[in-house]
């Protein structure tokens, strides 16, 4: 089941992102928020460094959401519908990571956008 070519690895990775987009409401919201925020950044004439901070922040949120989704799938794969204390910890901790990333993004968004308004 190992990918032999780099192109296959890329295909799997893009399929993973698409799968998360299809199934995860939060991921769809992040994509929508990303489009709105980038349009606003363009409207406010962001500098190169402001764009860099914005893009890194957006990527951190997206990456944590993807990892959270991967943890959820893995826990569901292992536990099925059965309650499992370790499964609960794993899902709650992964959700905590996405929450922290989202909080950080809101704070950075305020720092970047409020002076422009």
Residues forming the active site: 65
Burial of 2 (0-12, 13-18, 19+ CB in 10 A): exposed
Selection from 31, 65, 43 nearest residue 112 by Cα? 43
Residue nearest to ligand ATP (CB): 88
Nearer to ligand ATP, 8 or 92 (CB): 92
Contact range with ligand ATP by CB under 6 A, out of 5-13, 46-54, 67-75, 108-116: 67-75
83 binds ligand ATP (CB under 6 A): yes
Cα 110 to Cα 101: distance, rounded to the nearest angstrom: 14
CB of 113 within 8 A of CB of 44? yes
Which residues sit at the interface with ligand ATP, rule CB under 6 A?
24, 26, 68, 72, 75, 79, 83-84, 87-88, 91-92, 95
């Amino acid at each position: 089941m190992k990918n032999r070519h780099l192109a296959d690895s890329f295909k799997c990775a893009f399929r993973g992102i698409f799968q998360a987009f299809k199934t995860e409401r939060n991921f769809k919201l992040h994509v929508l928020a990303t489009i709105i925020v980038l349009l606003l950044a363009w409207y406010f004439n962001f500098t190169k460094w402001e764009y860099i901070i914005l893009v890194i922040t957006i990527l951190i949120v997206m990456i944590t959401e993807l990892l959270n989704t991967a943890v959820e799938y893995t826990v569901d794969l292992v536990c099925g519908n059965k309650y499992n204390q370790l499964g609960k910890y794993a899902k709650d901790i992964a959700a905590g990571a996405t929450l922290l990333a989202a909080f950080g993004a809101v704070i950075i968004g305020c720092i970047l956008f409020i002076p422009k308004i």
